[in-house]
Each structure stands twice: as structure tokens, then as C-alpha cells.
Amino acid sequence: MNAVRRLIALVFCLCLSAGAIARGVTITNGTASFEDAHLVISIQASIALNENVEEALDNGITLFFEAETKILRERRLWPDTQMLRASHRFALSRHALSNRYALTDLASGESRTFKTLQEALLVLGDLQRVLVSDEAVLPKPEVYLARARLRLITEELPAPMRPLVWISPSWWVSSPWYEWLIKR
Amino acid sequence: MRPRLAIVGTVGMLSLSSLGSLILMSAAIQNAGRFGDLYSLLLLTNLLGLAAFSGLIAMNVRDLVLQLRRRAPGARLTLRMLSIFVTLSVLPICVLYGFSMNFLMRGVDSWFDVHIDHALSDALELSRSALDLRMREVLSQTENLAEEISAGAPQNAVLDLGALRDPGNSVVTETWDPGEGDLNLLRRRIGAEELLVVTVQGRLLQSSNSGTDLVPNIPPAPILLQVKQGHSYIGLEPIGNAGLYMRVAVALPDTNVDRPARVLQALFPVAEGMNALASNVESAHAKYQELVYLRRKLKLSFAMTLTLVLLSSIATAVWAAFYSARRLTAPISDLAAGTAAVAAGNYTMTLPVNTSDDVGFLVSSFNDMTRRIAVARSEVDTQHRYVNTLLSQLSSGVLALDETGHIKTLNDAGRRILDLGDVVITGMRVSELAEKREHLAPFVECLSAHLEAGDERWQQESQIFIRTGRRALMCRGSHLPLDVDTEAGHVVVFDDVTALIQGQRDAAWSEVARRLAHEIKNPLTPIQLSAERLRQKYLSKMAPPDAETLDRLTTTIVQQVETMKAMVNTFSDYARMPAINQERTDLNKMILAVVDLYRSANPEARFELDFATDLPPISVDASRLRQVFNNLVKNALEASSDRTKAVITLSTRRLHTETGDYLTISILDRGDGIPPEMLTNIFEPYVTSKTRGTGLGLAIVKKIIEEHGGVVTLENDEGGGARATIRLPLVADPKAQRSPA
């Protein structure tokens, strides 16, 4: 029965702190360029993990991040048309033996290690070429809306953590959609 | 049955899906790999299932509370059975939950042991120490190599391997730029997998790699910065999937100050065996650390799952308790409701027999009982209706009383005769009847006297006064003896004999008038002739005083004889009315003509006419009916104390009743009205409030109207004065309907 009491108390405390998301992810810049008949999208993000997330990382929990990019054609009085969409996933973990943080691009399998978490987050935030596509997909002349966000994938967290994630806003680590226009 | 099956099916499906999702959620908790992706969905499904069950239970509770409040049959029994079922099912579940939770928490705690934790940490530290020793070696090697390179080897020193192998060779005095081949030799000598020379800005100058990976692993900026600041770097790094590597970066001193500072980096692989062991230790430590971190969350998840199981079980058990209690008490509730219905007089109630057990037998017996009662009741009702029909068809009033004098029933004719209107008298004492309807006091006195006297059979005439005047009732009473099938009481049969008595009186008066006319009229003519003869023979012969006396006396005799003749003629007319001569007549016109006649004679009097415009012509004897209106208008004028202020209101109406269509003519005066004691026999001969006249006027009116099949009434108006009302049937032949309703 103690567990039930603890559960109720925990839920109560978590509900109280629902509005307090200490830190988070913000996309600071998004660029689109056309190189060799290709559209290339890069974004820069500022990532600051809160204590709960850092604690989980330092305790061996692998964190998965997703950089999601969309190119939309805006329409009046009608939902926008999605022209392109790309998603890049990254895994951030801590290597206990070497006391280093490992950042792995899940698409390419490329992995890099960092002595500090800040270094790893700096590299994670510098997302070059997150979307590369044939520029012919976007007909000229037109103005397109680019949207990008970077978020922690809570669905990849271990199952025992998921009920907690549902009710704890400190785990809702996601940038708002960053938008900018692309002229063709 | 179908809704019940649908409910049970729905709840069964809900329970099964809830159970299935609980099992899957439990599996997901124990092993994140299995159904881990569905965990959130499963949790949501279970919460929704729980909410659905809670809603069902809430509805059941609400229904039960409402039933308890309105004291519905079987509600309390349902509550009692529900309490038992819930106690029997929920209590063990809660006990089991408590123990399970306790065991679970202890079980989870038992996974973690401080010794294991220390052992794993020590193993990790041991691995680090082992690697540290090797790392110090490779650092020393790399630093020596850097010094060698910096010491300055001749351009062709690459080939002088002996000089390179001898660090103490002082021949080399300038900074040496190794070529790719030189670097390969140096790399092989120190056993590195990769050897690089880069500037502190990270630009690659030379590289040597033993593997197929042609992309050199440039040291990151922080390492270059550290080396630039004069601190060599040595670190253990997992590189890709190749395992652990030792990265060493040292400054490459240069005597040529114009050139950018250089860094020598060497990557040393960890020995394969050690690499595997270290990886195992690291992996086990990481896993254990993750478990320790997830310990509280794991317990929370287990507790949540178990609590969900508990709540789902309780919800299912409570709902099942509701369902079972309702099913068990339903026949009893039905029986209670059926009994209440039978008690309330509903004998058509039939209960559904759903079971073949004792309760089913009880319900069948109840149905048989109600069926028999219904049949018996139906027979009684039929008999009762038959008797009522008989009684209602009687023209006599029939009043049934019980032994204590309470009224049990009174037929329609009785209500009409007693002028009861809508007053409910059933169950009332006879004495209370006089309190309710004062005009029945003589009737009640007559009944009470015989009831108190205990007369077995009696007969007495009584009179009551109703709106239409005095009514003569012939009452006959009998005492009903106590019998096996009937209770003791009294029955009183009474008839309205007013018309009969009136008829007898009318006949008697007609006979009197006829005889009077016959006996008196015969000697009147000789008397008149004799008086005239006396006057003619002796008047001229007598002295003036005597002659004057004779003339006055004979004149008086002749005048009185004439008056008597007129009176006898009137009597004769009353006794022997001629046959009526029908003709189509517009009554409005006829009344207007009569009124005009009296209006010219009495210009001060005010006649108010209110004629209906939809009066059809009616077949009447116009001269006789005109006589009627003459009489009534004359009476109305005479009834007004001051003729100059007389107000006479005449109105005609067409009246539609169940018995047919009628014309009504109303003549209302504003005089003093009729003395109450004269109301009963105002239409009888010689009944008059006037000092003059024969007293036959209203009697003749009544006779003429009755010969036309109509009715005439005279009553005092509530606003003062008297109102005469004539009602004539609207039929082709007035004789066809002699007595309207």
C-alpha cells in the first residue's frame, strides 16, 4: 500500500510542476540553399537538457532525437500541401568506461564521442544537410514554407519511464516548429 | 432478453479486451522489447476500459439510489445482495493486491544488491586502471616519438632507421619533416593504428593508417586546444563499431618559428582480448546502472499495472455483483410489484417466468392466481355492469344503503329525481346528504325515520323542492337480510309521482270545470231573460223612484249573469279544449306582434327583445299559442308593481340536446316574483296572486303548451322577478312528442 501512496504523491507532485519546463530545445537558424540542382536544408539548434533528462543520460539511458523537416506550399483557405519531408534520428548515450558521450547518426551509423555533454549537444545542434532533394520537386516560381523542429523521442525511452513521461513535462523536450520561406 | 444479452456481451468483450491489454501491458513492462511500442496504447486502452466500467457502475448506482428513494419493490433486497457480493469479491482482491504489491516491491528491490553495484563499479575501475597503464605507455611512446621528430632528422634520415631507433643520436640538429613512408615506419614502430601530423588548427599535414579506412581521424578542436596550451592528451574512446581506442595527441616542437605549431596524434587499438573484456564490463555496468535508475520507475510501472488490474477487477466484480444481484432479485421484485398491482386492483398483471427453479414455480403460481382472480373479477364486473344497466334503465330511483346507513349506490334515475348534479354521495351517510343538499331534507327525514325504526318494509310519500318546483316522491324501502353472499343493508326505491298527481289533479279540475259549466250555465239564460222581462214590463209602469231602483237592480242582475256566463265559458274552454289547428308559424314574429299590442297599450313599459336568428318555422296552433303569450305578457306586466317602470325581457333560443332539438321562449319580469308557497301549484286552477281574474290563465297556458308537446315552467329569477320558460319540440307533428326531457 505504501507504493500506492507513493504513486499518488508522485502524480500529485508531477502535476504541480506541470508548467515548469526548465530548459529545452530552440532552433536558432534554418537555411535553404540550392547546390548542383539540389535543395539542401540545414538547421542550427540550441539544446539544453534539464536535470531529469541529464540524469537519465548519465545513468545509461540512451536518448533518441529526431530532426524533422518539411517543405510546404501554402494555400489560402485550404490546408498547406506538403512537398517534401525528411526525418533524421540521432542517439545520444554515455560511455561509462571512457567517461565520454557518444552521438550516433542512426541513418549513416556514423558515431562520434565527446568528452563533455555540451560538446555533444553542440554537434547535435549543428544539423547540416538534414534535407537534400532534387530541386525539381519544387516548381518555379513559387514561395515555399520550410518548417523544422528537433525533439526528444519519448516513445523510444524504456517502457517503465513512459507513464512518467506522460505526466512529467520535463520530458517534453521539443523545439517549436521553426519556419522560414524559401523562394524559387 | 436481447438487451440483457447485448449488455452482457458488451461487458464480456470489454472485460476480455481489458484483460488482454493488461496481459500485454504486463509483458511490455517486463520486457520493453515485447509490445514496448504498444505500451502507451495499452495503457490508454486500459484506462478507457476502466472509465467505461466506472461509467456502467455509476449508472447502476444511480438507478439503485433512485429505486431506493422511491421505495421500488426489491430495491433493498438488491442493495443487501449487492453488499454481500461486493464484500465477498472485493475484499479478497484487495488483500491479494496488498500482498502482491508488497512482494512485487520487495522482489524489485531484491534485484539490486549493493555488493553487485560495488563489484561492477570496481570491475569498471579495474578496467580503467588496466587501460591506464597501457595508456601511460603509449603516451610515453608518442611523446618520445614527437621529440625524435622535433630533434631534427636529416631529410634522408628516413632511410637511416638505426638513427631513428637511437633516440640519443645527436646528429639530428634541425626539425625533421617526415614523409608518408617515414610516418608509416614510425607508426609501425610504436604499434599505432593511425599516426597523424596536423596543425593546431586541425589541418592535416601527414597521415599514416594501417587499415582500409582512408579517412583520418582528425583530433577535435578541444584536444588541439589542450595540446596547444602545452598539455598532452591521452584518452580512451570508442570509435564507431571498431571498439575502444586510445587517442594520444602531443605537441610537435618546431625550431622553425615561421611554421604553424604542429600536433602529433596516434591512435592505439586496445588489445582484442582486453577490448572484449572491457566492453563486457562496461556493458554490464551500464545495464545495471540503467536498472538502478529505472528501479523507482519500474516499481511505479508495476504498481500502476497492478493497480489497473486491481481497479479493473474491482470494477468487473462490482458490475458483476450488480448484474447478479439484479438477476437474482428480479423475479422477487417482479413478484413484489405484481402483488402491489393486484392489491391496487390490477388483476391483469402477468409476470415473466424466466427460470424453472423454485422462484419460477412461485411466479407461475402467482400468474395462475392473478388469472383466476381476473376471470372471477371479470364475471363480477359483467354481473355488476348488467345490474347497473338495469338500474340505469329504470325510471325509478334505487338507493342502496349498508347496515350503518351509508350510501352504497344510487342509480342515474335516482340522481336525476333528487337533482344531485355532480355531487358524489357514495360512502356518505344518509344524514350527511341533507347537509350537502338542503332540498333533500324531507326525503332524508323520511328515510332516517324508517331506518331508525328498523322497518322491514315501508312505503311513504315525501316531497322535495328542486329548481323546477315541488316534487312528490313515492318511497318504498326494504331491509336486506344478512346472507352468506350479501351483507345486510337497505334498499329504497322511489318514484317521482309529481306528474301523475298533477295529471290526476288536472283531470279532476277538468271534470269540476265541466260540471260547473254545465250546472251553472243552464239556469243563467232564464235568469237573464227573466230579469230583462221584469225590467221591460214594469219599468214604465212604476213611479220614478221605484223605476230607478228596478232599473239598477235588473241591470246588475244582467251584468252579473253576463260575467258568470263569461266565467262559465272560460271553465268550459279549460275543460274541453278544441283540437289544435297546426300551421307553420314564425314564433319571433308572433311574439313581436303580441309585444306590439301591449307596447301600444303600455307605452311607459320597456320591452327588451332578444330573439335568436336561427329559429326555424314551427308547426303550432297560432291562435292558441298567441293566447299563451298574451297571458304570460299580461301576467308579467301585472306582476310589475309600477307599470310605468315595467321591464319585460323576451328571448327565444334554439336548443340542441341529446333527446332532440327544441325552441325555448323566456319571458322575464322584474316584479316581486312568485310567493314560494305558490310555486308548486302555480299552474293549477284558482291559484293566483292577483285579486282579479278567474285563476285559470296559467292553467290554460300549461294545458295549451302540453298539447303542443312542450313544457312550461315558472320560477323566480335570481336577479328578482319571475321567469316563465316555454320549451317546444322542433318536430313536424307536435303530438309526436308529448313529453320532452
Most confident of A119-128, B312-321, B485-494: A119-128
Look-up of cell digits 532525437: A65
Question: Angle at the Cα of B650 (from B647 to B655), degrees rounded to 5?
Answer: 150
CA nearest B647: which of B674, B623, B618, B668? B668
Q: Give A15 to chain B, closest Cα distance, Å.
A: 16
Is the Cβ pair A158, B287 closer than 8 Å?
Answer: no
Is the Cβ pair B297, A114 closer than 8 Å?
Answer: no
Residue B301 has pLDDT above 90, yes or no: no
More confident residue, B152 or B125: B125
Query: In this predicted complex, what is the ipTM?
Result: 0.72
Provide, as residue numbers in chain B, all residues whose Cβ is less than 8 Å from the Cβ of A161: 294, 297
Q: What are the start-end ranges of the E strands in B501-594?
A: 583-585
pLDDT in tens, B267-281: 888 877 888 888 888
What single DSSP character describes residue A109? -
Give the predicted TM-score (pTM) of the model.
0.49
Percent of chain B at pLDDT > 70 equals 85
Q: What's the pLDDT at B591?
A: 92
Residue A22 has pLDDT above 50, yes or no: no
Is the Cβ pair B287, A160 closer than 8 Å?
Answer: no
pLDDT in tens, B684-715: 777 776 666 667 788 888 888 887 878 888 88
Residue B298 has pLDDT above 50, yes or no: yes
Q: What's the pLDDT at B214?
A: 59
pLDDT in tens, A127-166: 988 888 888 888 877 889 999 999 999 888 887 787 778 7
- pLDDT band of residue B29 (cuts 50, 70, 90) is low
Residue B173 has pLDDT above 50, yes or no: no
The two beta strands, B606-610 and B647-657, are parallel
More confident residue, B171 or B152: B152
Interface test with B, best of A51, A64, A97, A101 (most B CBs within 10 A): A97
Using the Cβ of A113 and the Cβ atoms of chain B, whether some distance falls under 8 Å is answered with: yes
Count how many residues are written for chain A: 184
pLDDT in tens, B484-516: 566 678 899 999 888 888 778 778 877 877 777
Is the Cβ pair A163, B43 closer than 8 Å?
Answer: yes
Compare CB distances from B307 to A4, A56, A160 and report the shortest one's residue.
A4
Provide, as residue numbers in chain B, all residues whose Cβ is less than 8 Å from the Cβ of A1: 98, 101
Q: What's the pLDDT at B417?
A: 86
Cα A109 to Cα A90: distance, rounded to the nearest angstrom: 9
In chain A, the residue whose alpha carbon lies closest to the alpha carbon of B236 is A98
Residue A17 has pLDDT above 60, yes or no: no
Q: How far is CA B404 from CA B166, B448, B478, in A?
A: 149, 11, 14
Q: What's the pLDDT at A21?
A: 39
Percent of chain B at pLDDT > 90 equals 6
Q: What's the pLDDT at B515?
A: 78
Is the Cβ pair B236, A98 closer than 8 Å?
Answer: yes
In chain A, the residue whose alpha carbon lies closest to the alpha carbon of B281 is A97
Cα B440 to Cα B445: distance, rounded to the nearest angstrom: 9
Pair B620, B583: CB distance under 8 Å: yes
pLDDT in tens, B424-483: 888 888 888 888 777 888 888 888 888 888 888 999 988 887 766 667 889 999 988 766
Q: Please give the grid coordinates belonging to residue B2.
A: 436481447
Helix B180-190 and helix B114-151, axial crossing angle in degrees, nearest 10: 140
pLDDT in tens, B617-662: 888 888 888 989 998 998 888 887 676 678 899 999 998 876 678 8
Residue A20 has pLDDT above 60, yes or no: no
- pLDDT band of residue B414 (cuts 50, 70, 90) is confident
- pLDDT band of residue A5 (cuts 50, 70, 90) is very low
Per-chain mean pLDDT for chain B: 80
Is the Cβ pair B239, A113 closer than 8 Å?
Answer: yes
Compare CB distances from B301 to A2, A100, A163 and report the shortest one's residue.
A163
Q: What's the pLDDT at B476?
A: 92
Residue B315 has pLDDT above 90, yes or no: no
pLDDT in tens, B572-616: 777 666 667 888 899 999 999 899 888 888 888 889 999 998 888
Provide, as residue numbers in chain B, all residues whose Cβ is less than 8 Å from the Cβ of A155: 37, 40
Q: Please give the grid coordinates belonging to residue B245.
A: 581506442
- pLDDT band of residue B162 (cuts 50, 70, 90) is very low
Interface test with A, best of B26, B218, B224, B293 (most A CBs within 10 A): B293
